[in-house]
Amino acid sequence: MTVITDDLVLPPRRFSLWTGIRRNPTIAFGAVMLALLILMAVFAPLIATHDPFKIAPVNRLRPPSERWWFGTDQFGRDVFSRTIYGARVSLIVGLSVAVISSALGLALGIACGYFKRIDGFVMRIMDGLMAIPSILLAIALITLARPGLGIVIVAIIVPEVPRVVRVVRAVVLSIRSQPYIESAIAGGTRNMKLLVRHVLPNTLAPLIVQSTYVCASAMLIEASLSFLGAGVPLETPSWGNIISQGKTFFQIAPWTILIPGAFLAVTVLAVNLLGDGLRDRLDPRLARRL
Tell me which residues touch another protein (CB under 8 A): 1-5, 7-11, 13, 124-125, 127-129, 131-137, 139-146, 216, 220, 223-224, 227-230, 243, 247, 250-251, 254, 257-258, 261-262, 264-266, 268-269, 272-273, 276, 287-290
Minimum distance from residue 134 beta carbon to another protein (Å)? 6
Nearer to another protein, 99 or 132 (CB): 132
Q: Is 105 or 181 the residue whose CB approaches another protein more closely?
A: 105
> Residue 9: which residues within 8 A CB-CB, separation 6 or more?
none
Closest CA to 218 of 102, 50, 45, 64: 102
CB of 264 to another protein, least distance (A): 6
Sign of the four-CA dihedral 194, 101, 269, 135 = positive
Nearer to another protein, 40 or 253 (CB): 253
What number of other Cβ atoms are within 10 A of residue 79's Cβ? 27
Nearer CB in complex with another protein: 44/126: 126
Distance CA 95, CA 84 (A): 17
- Distance, in Å, from the CA atom of 97 to the CA atom of 213, rounded to the nearest integer, reads 11
* Min CB(67)–another protein separation in Å: 24
- On whether the CB atoms of residues 164 and 75 are closer than 8 A, the answer is no
Q: How far is the CB of 247 from another protein (least distance, A)?
A: 8
Under 8 Å between Cβ of 28 and 19: no
Question: Residue 146 corresponds to which amino acid?
Answer: R
CB of 52 to another protein, least distance (A): 20
Query: Residue 113 or 162: which CB sits closer to another protein?
Result: 162
Residue 129 CB, nearest approach to another protein (Å) = 7
Largest CA distance in the chain: 78
Nearer to another protein, 175 or 253 (CB): 253
Which residue number, 276 or 283, has a Cβ lying nearer to another protein?
Answer: 276
CB of 41 to another protein, least distance (A): 18
CA torsion, points 135, 141, 147, 152, in degrees to nearest 10? -50
